[in-house]
Amino acid sequence: MTVRQLSLEELVDACAESGVRGVGLWREPVRAHGVRATANLVRDAGLTVTTLCRGGFFTAIDPDARARALDDNRRAVDEAAMLGTDTLVLVSGGLPAGSRDLRGARERIADALGELGPYAAGRGVRLALEPLHPMYASDRCVVSTLAQALDLAERFPAEQVGVAVDTYHVWWDDTAPAQIARAGAGGRIHTFQLADWTTPLPEGVLTGRGQIGDGAIDIREWQGYVAAAGYTGPIEVELFNEGLWARDGREVLAETVRRFVEHAA
Amino acid sequence: MTVRQLSLEELVDACAESGVRGVGLWREPVRAHGVRATANLVRDAGLTVTTLCRGGFFTAIDPDARARALDDNRRAVDEAAMLGTDTLVLVSGGLPAGSRDLRGARERIADALGELGPYAAGRGVRLALEPLHPMYASDRCVVSTLAQALDLAERFPAEQVGVAVDTYHVWWDDTAPAQIARAGAGGRIHTFQLADWTTPLPEGVLTGRGQIGDGAIDIREWQGYVAAAGYTGPIEVELFNEGLWARDGREVLAETVRRFVEHAA
């Protein structure tokens, strides 16, 4: 998504040029290109798919909507398996229209994880529940902190459900370092993602994720927390940013690699 | 601020019309009208000033800037005392330009509270440290949760420093009800403010506070928490909302009273 202006073919070439060996993919471009064709394209280029983004949206109350969501998530698991990644990132979903019941919505996520976890584990895929910044609590993700995500994940085996740690979502939270340690001790850090925090936030607050080094987050500090918690997996840079999307994608990828080296590696 | 389109004279009349007996004031219009003149205007109308907003912005590193901030806060205390309110609301301040050190910034707030608290208490004014929603952590307020605010406040006597509980800032936080109980047990709920959470958030995320009943927050639930914690003080409705500001202020005030009765009282 950081360079969504690139086609998958262009992305694969640009990764090779920039020395990037792993890539997190999103479902929409993968499905547009064909899941199997994408798997072949990426494999032939020697690239690893780090994660598939994203499943989730488990908070509907209506039984039909819940069944459809679970169906879609099983498809996402199948796609992840086909792409050869062991991790499906989940965005839990917001409050259903008219609802003010955060607790109930969080409980419905647990119900969905209970159904999806064994299905995923049977296909070699782990679910990574991603707490999103509290500014998304009503319309996108009622799971706002690592503590909440772990409270949900720990109801299930770690090989079924863990968490995604994303600097953009947790950087403000002084309890997050302890929660990262908790997640690491349980083998539940299923991916680690980077974005910087820049202001002013744009309308709708979806496309304001800042380039590494441009914002308020001490990236290396957070990298230190996940490393101390035993995480040795890939580090993903995930930027949704209209300014970056408007530029040449290869240039943005190269810049991102430079920023990663400067601020994280 | 909910009806900032009204002059102070108009506000006082509109409050009388709507049966509103207390009003939270902001420093800028008060200073423009004159502090003593405002005090007289409000007193003559039989209105109580519930709080003065706002002091704070304690996070500068530069010693001169810190001294200026403290001077300004002592003036704010004096203004509060002159207006006859016992509560000055504090917005702590964001990260200084170029800084990524949230912990350091939070510590500088403690330093300032240590200087300002006795000054305020000597004038019958309590400081209400307001945690702001984590989306303001970098540019406005590094104190993002009630737990953080109480960790700071509890270093000082409750008659010097407490907290402001604002539904807009805490509604997403599943640990906030326990923190409200903690604040109440310590006599540290110095004001309780209402706004609803509506999306999409506007650019800059400052003027998106929703009218009571329009959003995702179960206002009565939060009112229950502060009541159970022993809070019996005024309840303020604080909306920053371009849509409301563009309308007739008296009509907005009357609507706000109706919404308050429907969703809170």
CA distance A149 to chain B (A): 12
Tell me the residues of chain B between 175 and 214 that have a Cβ less than 8 Å away from chain A.
Answer: 175, 197, 199-205
Place of tokens 């400067």: A262
**pLDDT tens track of chain A, all 265 residues?**
999 999 999 999 999 999 999 999 999 999 999 999 999 999 999 999 999 999 999 999 999 999 999 999 999 999 999 999 999 999 999 999 999 999 999 999 999 999 999 999 999 999 999 999 999 999 999 999 999 999 999 999 999 999 999 999 999 999 999 999 999 999 999 999 999 999 999 999 999 999 999 999 999 999 999 999 999 999 999 999 999 999 999 999 999 999 999 999 7
Measure CB to CB from residue A201 to each of B145, B204, B215 and give the nearest one.
B204
Domains in chain A, CATH or no CATH each: 8-259 (3.20.20.150)
- DSSP state letter for A116: H
CA distance A160 to chain B (A): 25
- CB of A234 within 8 A of CB of A183? no
Neighboring chain A residues of B150 at a CB cutoff of 8 Å: none
SS3 per-residue string spanning chain B: CCCCCCCHHHHHHHHHHHCCCEEEEEHHHHHHHCHHHHHHHHHHCCCEEEEEEEEECCCCCCHHHHHHHHHHHHHHHHHHHHHCCCEEEEECECCCCCCCCHHHHHHHHHHHHHHHHHHHHCCCCEEEECCCCHHHCCCCECCCCHHHHHHHHCCCCCCCEEEEEEHHHHCCCCCHHHHHHHHHHCCCEEEEEECEECCCCCCCCCCEEECCCCCCCCHHHHHHHHHHCCCCCCEEECCCEHHHHCCCHHHHHHHHHHHHHHHCC
Q: How far out from the chain centre does Cα A262 lie?
A: 23
Binary contact (B138, A204; C-beta < 8 A): no
Task: Give the DSSP per-residue string, A206-218.
Answer: SSBEEPTTSSS--
- Tell me how far apart the alpha carbons of residues A255 and A217 are, in angstroms, rounded to a whole number: 18
Binary contact (A201, B200; C-beta < 8 A): no
Is pLDDT at B265 greater than 80 in this prediction?
no
pLDDT at site A265? 76
Neighboring chain B residues of A145 at a CB cutoff of 8 Å: 173-174
Nearest Cα to A259, choosing from A197, A199, A207, A195?
A195
B197 to chain A: nearest residue by CA? Answer: A138
B96 to chain A: nearest residue by CA? Answer: A216
